[in-house]
């Protein structure tokens, strides 16, 4: 390609064939062609134009600024990190940045130690955020924490001791595995279907292992995207009440789904610890979470544990979240995330072979069940060879042999063009022979 551009055989503005068409014309593996296009983008030979195709760049054209060039270059596509799409609308970005400017006028006080749990204004903002999810707790049951992970760590330390059993989804958020291991708790896996945990299996586990708590990520679950419907939530609550089991609800995607089922905290507040982190709704770097305890009495030792482990949530992060919630910026970000996630899911639905994956229109990740012949390690290697990052099922599986599946995160890549390119490569791999693909790794 570089030689043809240099000799004039390919001229500036020439539209190149699609990667699939070129692979067929040259009788080459699709991944080989894809890697060639990625390298050509890196060298500044070609550029992609959304909705139009890939074109040869005029070699005499002055180089664009690094920011503009980065936006037009495909480059490696990382589908591994589960974070929401980042707002790129200038008006929304300006609105977000304005809060930073306003906060800079009060930096001295924000750099001091604060009372644990945030100011009254911070708590008022937290209550407003939770009300949007249908949760209206008394203020004394509310704690502001430095991220969902610290909240879960403190809850587990309060409801169980070393050697105790905690139930969780068979395929679940990897963080709960790490926390349980650190606290020397036994995790017992519960079988799932496309709607989440099986209540009957939970009841059977209660009679056999007497768990202290059940951990659930019941809305747009990470990684499977499953959402527990109301009837199943009520069945789980009935089992939990019968066997005196505490529910730990990790509602990471609380505000992303516009019409979610009622939360466990709304249906059974007296037995539920509810955690609403902001990282998956507003931005991965905003390490802040709102925790609602089942009672004021349980909130006191929980607050003490959080204070001992973390001292306080960052006053700067808390003040920023409070400002965004109170002035409506947070809701605008959520709306952007909803719309962009839906657009990216539509791209995934158009690109990925039917029947190979599960997804939700409001989620920004996809769970791919690999066709027969593929292993998760081979598929991940195939992706890496084309500059694509995916993550296998191993970190998510509590017990037994992990399924041949991978999680694909659509929020990490910065543009829809990157999403389209990456999914085209992976879709071709899913439709092809693993044995043939392995020859090009």
Q: What does the domain layout of the chain look like in residue ranges? A: 1-56, 113-327, 330-439
- Residue 347 CA to residue 361 CA, distance in Å, equals 11
| Reported CATH class of domain 1-56 | mainly alpha
Indicate if the pLDDT at residue 438 is higher than 70: no
Residue-wise pLDDT for 18-38, tens only, equals 877 888 888 887 667 777 887
pLDDT band, very low/low/confident/very high, at 276 (cuts 50, 70, 90): very high
Lowest mean pLDDT segment, chosen from 56-70, 89-103, 173-187, 361-375: 56-70
Residue 288 corresponds to which tokens in the numbers above?
């802040």
pLDDT at 66: 36
pLDDT at 61: 62
Residue 159: alpha-carbon gap to chain centroid? 27
- CATH code at 330-439: 3.90.1150.10
Lowest mean pLDDT segment, chosen from 44-48, 283-287, 434-438: 434-438
The residue-averaged pLDDT of 63-74 equals 40
- Residue 179 CA to residue 163 CA, distance in Å, equals 13
Query: Is 260 exposed, middle or buried, given 0-12, 13-18 or 19+ CB atoms closer than 10 A?
Result: buried
Residue 259 corresponds to which tokens in the numbers above?
């019409």
Residue-wise pLDDT for 186-199, tens only, equals 999 999 999 999 99
SS in 3 state form for the chain? Answer: CHHHHHHCCCCCCCECCCHHHHHHHHCCCHHHHHHHHHHHHHCCCEEEECCCEEEECCCCCCCCCHHHHHHHCCCCEECCCCCCCCCCCHHHHHHHHHHHHHHHHHHHHHCCCCCCCCCHHHHHHHHHHHHCCCCCCCHHHEEEECCHHHHHHHHHHHHCCCCCEEEEECECCHHHHHHHHHCCCEEEEECEECCEECHHHHHHHHHHHCCCEEEECCCCCCCCCCCCCHHHHHHHHHHHHHCCCEEEEECCCCCCCCCCCCCHHHHCHHHEEEEEECCCCCCCCCCCEEEECCCHHHHHHHHHHHHHHHCCCCHHHHHHHHHHHHHCHHHHHHHHHHHHHHHHHHHHHHHCCCCCEECCCCCCEEEEECCCCCCHHHHHHHHHHCCEECEECHHHECCCCCCCEEEEECCCCCCHHHHHHHHHHHHHHHHCCHHHHHCCC
- CATH architecture of structural domain 113-327: 3-Layer(aba) Sandwich (3.40)
Q: What is the chain's Cα-based Rg?
A: 24
Record the pTM.
0.83
Average pLDDT, the chain: 89
Indicate if the pLDDT at residue 63 is higher than 70: no
Asked, colleague to colleague, whether 1-56 and 113-327 share their fold, the answer is no
Phi and psi at residue 61, in whole multiples of 5°? -70, 135
pLDDT at 105: 80
Indicate if the pLDDT at residue 267 is higher than 60: yes
Lowest mean pLDDT segment, chosen from 28-32, 264-268, 346-350, 404-408: 28-32
Indicate if the pLDDT at residue 90 is higher than 80: yes
The residue-averaged pLDDT of 198-207 equals 97
The residue-averaged pLDDT of 132-137 equals 94
Percent pLDDT > 90 in the chain is 61
Strands 289-292 and 142-145: antiparallel
Indicate if the pLDDT at residue 285 is higher than 60: yes
Indicate if the pLDDT at residue 59 is higher than 80: no
pLDDT at 119: 84
Indicate if the pLDDT at residue 437 is higher than 70: no
Q: Which residue has the higher pLDDT, 215 or 384?
A: 215
Residue-wise pLDDT for 136-187, tens only, equals 999 999 999 999 999 999 999 999 999 999 999 999 999 999 999 999 999 9
Phi and psi at residue 222, in whole multiples of 5°? -95, 115
Lowest mean pLDDT segment, chosen from 56-60, 91-95, 292-296: 56-60
Lowest mean pLDDT segment, chosen from 77-86, 166-175, 202-211: 77-86
């Amino acid at each position: 390609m570089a030689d043809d551009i240099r000799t004039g055989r390919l001229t500036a503005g020439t539209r190149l064939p699609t990667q699939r068409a070129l692979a067929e014309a040259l009788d080459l593996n699709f991944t080989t062609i894809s890697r060639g296009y990625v390298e050509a983008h890196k060298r500044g030979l070609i550029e992609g134009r959304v909705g139009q195709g890939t074109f040869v760049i005029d070699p005499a054209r002055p180089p664009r600024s690094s920011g503009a060039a980065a936006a037009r270059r495909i480059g490696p596509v990382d589908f591994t990190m589960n974070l929401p799409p980042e707002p790129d609308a200038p008006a929304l970005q300006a609105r977000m940045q304005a809060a930073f400017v306003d906060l800079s006028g009060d930096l001295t006080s924000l750099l001091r130690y604060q009372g644990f749990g945030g100011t009254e204004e911070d708590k008022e903002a937290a209550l407003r955020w939770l009300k949007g999810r249908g949760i209206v707790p008394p203020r004394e049951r509310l704690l502001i924490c430095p991220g969902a992970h610290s909240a879960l760590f403190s809850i587990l330390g309060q409801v169980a001791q070393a050697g105790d059993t905690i139930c969780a989804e068979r395929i679940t958020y990897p963080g709960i595995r790490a926390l349980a291991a650190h606290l020397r708790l036994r995790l017992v896996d519960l079988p799932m279907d496309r709607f989440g945990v099986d209540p009957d299996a939970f009841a059977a586990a209660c009679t056999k292992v007497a768990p202290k708590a059940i951990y659930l990520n019941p809305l747009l679950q990470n990684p499977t995207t499953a959402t527990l419907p109301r009837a199943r939530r009520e069945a789980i609550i009935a089992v939990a009440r019968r066997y005196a089991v505490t529910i730990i609800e990790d509602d990471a995607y609380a505000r992303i789904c516009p019409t979610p089922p009622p939360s466990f905290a709304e249906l059974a507040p007296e037995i539920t610890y509810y955690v609403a982190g902001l990282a998956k709704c507003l931005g991965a770097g905003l390490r802040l979470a709102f925790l609602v305890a089942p009672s004021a009495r349980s909130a006191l030792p929980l607050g003490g544990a959080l204070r001992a482990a973390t001292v306080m949530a960052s006053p700067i992060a808390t003040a920023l979240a409070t400002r965004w919630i109170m002035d409506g910026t947070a809701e605008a970000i959520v709306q952007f995330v909803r719309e962009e996630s839906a657009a990216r899911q539509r791209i995934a639905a158009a690109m990925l072979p039917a029947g190979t994956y599960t997804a939700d229109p409001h989620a920004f990740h996809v769970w791919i069940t690999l066709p027969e012949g593929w292993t998760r390690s081979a598929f991940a290697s195939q992706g890496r060879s084309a500059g694509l990052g995916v993550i296998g099922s191993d970190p998510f599986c509590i017990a037994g042999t992990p399924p041949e599946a991978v999680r694909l995160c659509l929020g990490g890549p910065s543009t829809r063009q990157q999403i389209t390119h990456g999914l085209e490569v992976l879709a071709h791999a899913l439709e092809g022979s693993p044995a043939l693909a392995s020859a090009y790794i």
